[in-house]
């Protein structure tokens, strides 16, 4: 096949700048071949090189005595959880592929993150996801009533004629059209189906997640997939091409043309034209094949014959070869004629850049090749010995008897261009900070507003989603989807079989017992996990929003009885070349970093997904963070729903932040749904206050005093109370509804005038507004319940620790009844549950 001539136009099509191309020529000392140009393109894409984000990522805390494999070292981070056991976990995105082909984009997102885990030597035991879509209903979403001047007066970027953020554009002030709703529902349905298909077929429980709907994600959904696996310390596998002379094996299904240059596609703006052109960049997944590959690889690792292993994910064979060689400081030579191919006449370019799924590259200790062949033949999987490890430091690729690639491995893998982008605070931020509640009437129909909030898809029950997932396979799920955080058991059969276990079972061991804890003596561990990010908060104040994302995740863990171990992040951002957008990214990372430091949750790795924007504008900055924690004892596991009639209900934390001029209503679900506004500085996130709350809550839980705990987040106190009454399931579709009688009369005094002002004429913008009390989203608050006899003890202990605490009611009845200084209202739980439980199903019907 004749390769095209390298021209400036061809270089530009590969998303390389003239300067980057000149650097590639300098590295090679010659003009690159077409295949080499493709390799530079994918390896120097943002997806693989982090060239625009490396300076920011260096600010994350990444060290801890418990970290065994840290951020940037390998395909996933690994943390010690005691007794010689460790967990590997990571989150990654598949946003652009899911926008083009939602089902396949989501399936291969799950498949890719699962491979990142078992390539470390860990057995994958659970999955989590974080999803964002355009609206699926026309409720809320700033749909034309009371739209703020900030939303109407878009501030243009200094470097482009498009708005700095989609939510500044006039599209946010208009109802979603029927065509847009239909497309959003199609993307939502396709992504959820894809996640369910891959996870269910592979046999891994999807135990937690989050789903938000906002116009900013219309046409550019976010699909972030997380996986966690388990292994012994000595089973950690490195992705390094060690041992000169060692053979290199390709294992797994044959290479096709699907997924061609997917990493490069993920590193450019998403337009209708690019989506259509890059439809072939979306991979096709086969979960049954991946299950076989996983089991075969784990069995092979137990033989001790593996010197290094890496999956062929982004950039396919290209990334796995050059990265493994770079990590080991070696060279690697492969022969493409030996690579299994399922399409005829594939070019060198296609074979090297294909992202066909479920493939692994394994370096084997010389002389032990037959073990690879035997095990992969046993699992009926293709294998091929395609190369050898050298001492040249170069990645060399031969095809058809010709040398088609010769590139210094470390130069292309570790020495990509790094940019320090300009950051400018967008003009809209000043208007956001100046926003006040003047002219916004206080809440007059609290029950109606509560029902609207409970039915808003971003708050409503996600049962339509998680009922499609098998969240109990392998019988390790302790807390199922629907509470603040998922909790799973790390059981003896969660661990991969070790080399010593294998020798004992085959009768080949010189000792009768393995040196590590056996499955018979294994002590189970309890691991909690959650994923969080309020993109509206981050848009309105990236720094505070970044802190809030970490804080809410850690608060969710605390409500479940867990102490944080570590975090993994997914920076879903727009175009870094635009200074205002890069400022959003920089400030949100600053907030994330401070949050992770405060809660001793070091970042073990993650993913950067930039260029998330469609022709209508960029997404809200969405730095998703997943935090993993450990629950010390089974009796400490706590869930969010109320338990028994007569229990006391206590609010930990300030009911309303009086120092906040808009009292926790900035960026709130209440403002968005009831008043059609996406505006105002979000609630302040004081990390010291949050740490004190979490420590106090964990102490109360470990003392056996807490029966339920639920954090106050979107929708505020009223939504948290309602969810505590209606969120428990007795069976698959059978709720357990248990009411509550709440007295907030000593907490706040509602205004009684339609303009929101008090009877004495003072400003309605006061801590006594009813909407602020019920629906404000002041940070660091948790609703707990305990035995009535323990209520005084709990309140006093909290206050001694410096946490405001007050008993606000008791559990019981069949309704949620609330009394404030000037109002009394109630609603049957059946009505609240119907609005919350069935909202998404009705929208998708």
Which strands make up the sheet holding 206-213, listed edge to edge? 67-69, 77-82, 85-93, 222-232, 123-133, 206-213
Active site residue 710: no
582: its two tokens: 């890069």
Is residue 778 within 8 A of residue 660, CB to CB? The reply is yes
The SS3 assignment for 819 reads strand
Among 47, 636, 768, 833, the one annotated catalytic: 47
Which of 32, 21, 14 is closest to 403 using CA atoms? 32
| C-alpha span between 52 and 417 (Å, rounded) | 9
| 140, 641, 722, 747, 813 from 820: Cα distances, Å | 26, 23, 16, 8, 19
Q: Is the dihedral of CA 594, 595, 597, 598 positive or negative?
A: positive
Among 23, 94, 96, 694, the one annotated catalytic: 94
Q: Please return the burial class of 385, using the count of CB atoms within 10 Å of its CB with bins 0-12, 13-18 and 19+.
A: middle
The SS3 assignment for 810 reads strand
| C-alpha span between 204 and 226 (Å, rounded) | 12
| C-alpha span between 190 and 97 (Å, rounded) | 12
| C-alpha span between 594 and 590 (Å, rounded) | 6
Number of H helices, E strands in the chain: 30, 30
Is residue 268 within 8 A of residue 151, CB to CB? The reply is no
| C-alpha span between 72 and 781 (Å, rounded) | 35
Cross-strand bridge partners of residue 708: 785
Between CA 299 and CA 305, with CA 303 as vertex, the angle to 5 degrees is: 115
| 20, 722, 770, 821, 836 from 444: Cα distances, Å | 60, 19, 8, 14, 21
Is residue 176 within 8 A of residue 184, CB to CB? The reply is yes
| DSSP string computed for 229-255 | EEEEGGG-------STT-EEEEESSPB
The SS3 assignment for 204 reads coil
The SS3 assignment for 488 reads strand
Active site residue 47: yes
Helices (H), 69-170: 95-100, 102-118, 149-152
Beta strands in 504-620, from DSSP E residues, in sequence order: 525-532, 563-572, 603-609, 613-614, 617-618
The SS3 assignment for 610 reads coil
Is residue 844 within 8 A of residue 464, CB to CB? The reply is yes
Contacts of 837 (CB under 8 A, 6+ apart): 460, 461, 463, 726, 735
Which of 500, 493, 488, 490 is closest to 234 using CA atoms? 500
| C-alpha span between 776 and 674 (Å, rounded) | 13
| 117, 326, 356, 401, 408 from 391: Cα distances, Å | 29, 11, 29, 21, 11
- Measured in whole angstroms, the distance separating CA 763 from the mean position of its chain's CA atoms is 41
740: its two tokens: 């509550």
- Return the exposure string of 665-689: e unless at least 16 CB atoms fall within 10 Å of the residue's CB, then b: bbbbbbbbbbbbbbbbbbbbbbbeb
Residues marked active site are found at 47, 94
């Amino acid at each position: 096949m004749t390769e095209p001539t390298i021209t400036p136009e061809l270089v530009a099509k590969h998303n390389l700048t003239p300067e980057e191309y000149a650097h590639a020529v300098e590295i090679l000392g010659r003009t690159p071949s077409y295949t080499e140009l493709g390799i530079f393109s994918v390896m120097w894409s943002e997806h693989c090189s982090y060239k625009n984000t490396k300076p920011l990522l260096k600010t994350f805390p990444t060290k801890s005595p418990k970290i065994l494999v840290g951020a940037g070292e390998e395909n996933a981070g690994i943390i010690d959880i005691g007794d010689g056991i460790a967990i590997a976990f990571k989150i990654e995105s598949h946003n652009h592929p899911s926008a083009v082909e939602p089902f396949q984009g989501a399936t291969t997102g799950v498949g890719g993150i699962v491979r990142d885990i078992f390539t470390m030597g860990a057995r994958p035991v659970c999955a989590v996801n974080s999803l964002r879509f355009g609206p699926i209903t026309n409720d809320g979403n700033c749909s034309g009533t009371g739209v703020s001047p900030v939303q109407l007066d878009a501030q243009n970027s200094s470097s482009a004629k498009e708005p700095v953020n989609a939510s500044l554009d006039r599209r946010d002030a208009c109802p979603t059209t029927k065509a847009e709703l239909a497309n959003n529902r199609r993307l939502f349905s396709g992504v959820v189906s894809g996640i369910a298909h891959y996870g269910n077929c592979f046999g891994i429980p999807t135990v937690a997640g989050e789903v938000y709907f906002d116009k900013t994600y219309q046409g550019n959904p976010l699909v972030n997939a997380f996986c966690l696996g388990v292994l012994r310390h000595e089973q950690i596998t490195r992705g390094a091409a060690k041992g000169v002379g060692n053979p290199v094996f390709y294992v797994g299904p044959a290479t096709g043309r699907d997924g061609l240059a997917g990493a490069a596609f993920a590193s450019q703006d998403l337009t209708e034209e690019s989506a259509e052109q890059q439809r072939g960049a979306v991979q096709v997944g086969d979960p049954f094949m991946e299950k076989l590959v996983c089991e075969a690889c784990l069995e092979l690792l137990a033989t001790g014959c593996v010197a290094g292993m890496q999956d062929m994910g982004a950039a396919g064979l290209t990334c796995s070869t050059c990265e493994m060689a770079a990590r080991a400081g070696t060279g690697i030579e492969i022969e493409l004629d030996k690579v299994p191919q399922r399409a005829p006449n594939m070019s060198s370019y296609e074979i090297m850049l294909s992202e066909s799924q479920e493939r692994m590259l394994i370096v084997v200790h010389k002389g032990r090749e037959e073990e690879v062949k035997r095990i992969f033949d046993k699992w009926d999987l293709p294998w091929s010995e395609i190369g050898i490890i050298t001492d040249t430091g170069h990645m060399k690729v031969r095809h058809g008897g010709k040398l088609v690639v010769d590139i210094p491995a470390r130069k292309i893998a570790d020495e990509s261009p790094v940019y320090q982008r300009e950051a400018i605070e967008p003009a809209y931020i000043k208007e956001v900070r100046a926003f006040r509640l003047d002219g916004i009437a206080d809440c007059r129909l609290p029950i109606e507003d509560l029902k609207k909030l409970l039915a808003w898809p971003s708050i409503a029950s996600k049962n339509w989603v998680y009922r499609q997932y098998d969240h109990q396979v392998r019988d390790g799920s302790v807390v199922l989807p629907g509470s603040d955080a998922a909790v799973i058991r790390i059981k003896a059969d969660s661990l991969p079989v070790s080399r010593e276990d294998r020798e004992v079972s085959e009768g080949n061991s010189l000792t009768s017992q393995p040196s590590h804890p056996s499955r018979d003596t294994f002590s189970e561990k309890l691991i909690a996990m959650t994923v969080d990010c309020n993109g509206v908060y981050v848009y309105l104040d990236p720094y505070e929003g970044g802190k809030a994302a970490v804080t809410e995740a850690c608060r969710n863990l605390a409500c479940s009885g867990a102490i944080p171990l570590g975090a993994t992040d997914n920076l879903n951002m727009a175009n870094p070349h635009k200074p205002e957008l890069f400022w959003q990214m920089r400030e949100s990372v600053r907030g994330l970093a401070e949050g992770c430091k405060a809660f001793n949750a070091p970042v073990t790795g993650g993913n950067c997904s930039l260029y998330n924007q469609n022709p209508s504008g960029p997404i809200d900055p969405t730095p998703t963070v997943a935090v993993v924690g450990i629950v010390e004892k089974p009796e400490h596991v706590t869930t969010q729903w109320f338990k028994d009639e007569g229990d006391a209900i206590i609010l930990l934390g300030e009911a309303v932040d009086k120092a906040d001029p808009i009292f926790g209503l900035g960026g709130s679900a209440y403002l968005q749904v009831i008043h059609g506004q996406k505006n105002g500085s979000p609630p302040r996130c004081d990390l010291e206050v949050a740490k004190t709350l979490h420590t106090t809550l964990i102490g109360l839980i470990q003392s056996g005093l807490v029966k339920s705990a639920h954090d106050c987040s979107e929708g505020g106190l009223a939504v948290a109370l309602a969810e505590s009454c209606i969120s428990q399931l007795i069976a698959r579709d059978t709720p357990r509804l248990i009411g509550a009688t709440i007295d907030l009369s000593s907490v706040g005094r509602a205004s009684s005038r339609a303009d929101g002002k008090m009877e004495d004429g003072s400003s309605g913008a006061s801590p006594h507004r009813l909407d602020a009390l019920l629906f404000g989203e002041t940070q660091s608050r948790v609703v707990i319940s305990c035995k009535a006899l323990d209520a005084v003890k709990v309140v006093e202990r909290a206050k001694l620790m410096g946490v405001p605490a007050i008993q606000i009611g008791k559990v019981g009845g069949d309704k949620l009844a609330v009394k404030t200084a000037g109002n009394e209202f109630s609603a049957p739980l059946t009505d609240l549950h119907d609005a919350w439980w069935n909202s998404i199903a009705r929208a998708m019907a």
